[in-house]
Amino acid sequence: MSAVKNDPGIGRILVTLDTSPESRALLDVAANLAACFEIPLTGLFIEDQDILEFADLPIAREISMTGKGIYDLTRERVQSHFRSQAVAVRRALQSAAARQRIDCAFEIRKGRSDIEITAATRESDLIVVSSRVGALSRPRGYDYFGHFESTEASAVLTYGDEKEGLTSDRIIAVFTGSAAAREGVRLAGQIAVRGRNRLTIILVDGADDLAVEIKRAHPTTGQAATGAEWINLNSGTSIAEHITTVRPRLVVLPSDLSQIDRRVISETGIPVMVVRTRGE
């Protein structure tokens, strides 16, 4: 993959890390993006306060991943696990960064995950988070962009539960005509160029003249967009259906797409990056 010229829009990527398989996949996605934009990658490991407090309860029990045992959960046991997990994820981060030849930083925070992520991302432009971030189990299609709405990041990328790798080499960007959508198409184009992926741009409003505008507004992206496939779709549901069929590597959505549409699309389990403009 060839790197694209660093753009002032994305200057730093933050990825939340744990020891789950999803987190490893997430790390690879984030490292790829960091290499794409030639920017450093920050790994964040959170010693979740919710879990520690749960461990302080006299009734705290832990059921193993295999379901074969139930163990008493104590604060010491949790802290011990946190320490060993931190070492493991730090090593994984450094390894991924070395492979992509990018700089990396590693940070451990103690507290509630959403608060700590928000605090850690004040200087980051793109947050890459697992759909399993935080201790509390959340329903499918949870709006993570809304969850991190208070951050100053330009984009939030969530990695779903997709496991089978049936995804194609395609990247889909949804274009609504907003400033965030333009930024999203621009980023999608850069990622497509870098990863030699095919790019599909879905025009929600079906306005063909918008495509011309994109090409004019973003010469670099326009080059990728010129070879892109252009599709007119009208609703989040039809977009989600298309995504389900194509199984792209990444879906780039603008923040102005409705929360319902975002949720429908997120439910496909495909990695979704929600982009907004600064100050939005």
Partner 1 sequence: MPPKPLSPDDLTVSLGPATLTFMSTDDLPDLENIVGQDRALEAIAFGVGMRRAGYNIFLVGPEGTGRHSTISALVKKRAKKDPTPDDWVYVGNFDELHKPHALRLPPGRGVELAEAMSRFVEDIQETVPALFESEENQTRFQAIQDEFQQKQETAFEDLRQRAAEKNIALIRTPMGFGFAPTVNGQIIKPDVFEKLPDSERKRIESDIAALQADLQNIVKQLPGWDKARRESIRELRAEITAFAIGETIASVLEQFRDVPVLVDYLDAVRNDLINSFHTIMMAEQATAAAARDGHGADATVSANSGFVRYRVNPIVHNGERTGAPVIYEDNPTLANLVGRVEYGSRFGALVTDLSLIKAGALHRANGGYLILDARKLLTQPFAWAALKRALKAGRITIESPGQMLNLINTISLEPEPIPLRTKIAICGDRLVYYLLSELDPEFSDLFMVEADFSDDMDRSPETEADFAKLVGTLVKTEELRPFDTSGVVRVIKHAVRIAGDTRKISVHMRSIVDLLHEADHYAETDDAAMVTGDHVQRAIDAKIRRSDRLRERSEELIERGVVLINTDGTAVGQVNGLSVIQLGGFAFGRPTRITARVRLGAGKVIDIEREVELGGPLHSKGVLILAGFLAARYAIDAPLSLSATLVFEQSYGGIEGDSASAAELFALLSALADVGVRQELAVTGSVNQKGQIQAIGGVNEKIEGFFDICSIRGLTGSQGVLIPKANVQHLVLRQDVVDAAADGQFHIYPMESIDDGMELLTGLAAGEVGDSGQFPPDTINHMVEQRLLHFAKRRRAFGQSADSKERSGS
- Min CB(61)–partner 1 separation in Å: 6
Of 57 and 216, nearer to partner 1 (C-beta) is 57
Tell me the closest approach of the beta carbon of residue 96 to partner 1, in angstroms: 11
Give the shortest CB-42-to-partner 1 separation in angstroms. Answer: 22
Residues 204-243 touching partner 1, rule: CB under 8 A, are: none
- Residue choice 21, 165, 219, 279 for contact with partner 1 (CB under 8 A): 165
Residue 21 binds to partner 1 (criterion: CB under 8 A): no
Whole-angstrom distance, CA of residue 26 vs CA of residue 271? 9
Q: Within 52-91, which residues bind partner 1 (CB under 8 A)?
A: 53-54, 56-68, 70, 73, 78, 81-82, 85
* Euclidean distance between CA atoms 17 and 151, whole angstroms: 18
**Can you tell me the distance from the alpha carbon of 117 to that of 38, in angstroms, rounded to the nearest whole number?**
23
3-state secondary structure (DSSP) of residue 119:
helix
Shortest distance, CB of residue 185 to partner 1, whole angstroms? 24
Residue 86: both structure tokens together: 């931190």
Token pair listed for 89: 């994820």
State residue 105 phi and psi, 5-degree precision: -135, 155
107 token code pair: 């940070």
| Residue 191 β-bridge partners | none
CB 265 within 8 A of CB 250: no
The site string for partner 1 over 116-155 (x = CB under 8 A, - otherwise) reads ----------------x--xxx-xx---------------
Give the span between the Cα atoms of 270 and 241, in whole angstroms: 12
Binding to partner 1 (CB under 8 A) within 88-117 occurs at 99
CA-based R_g, the chain, Å: 19
Provide CB contacts within 8 A for 172, sequence distance 6+: 188, 199, 200, 201, 202, 242, 243, 246, 248, 250, 251, 252
C-alpha span between 263 and 51 (Å, rounded): 27
> Of the ranges 49-57, 143-151, 197-205, 224-232, which one interacts with partner 1 (CB under 8 A)?
49-57
In this chain, which of 161, 205, 208, 229 binds partner 1, going by CB under 8 A?
161
Please say which residue, 132 or 262, places its beta carbon nearer to partner 1.
132
Residues making contact with partner 1 (CB under 8 A): 1, 19, 50-51, 53-54, 56-68, 70, 73, 78, 81-82, 85, 99, 132, 135-137, 139-140, 161, 163-166, 168, 196, 244-245, 247, 269
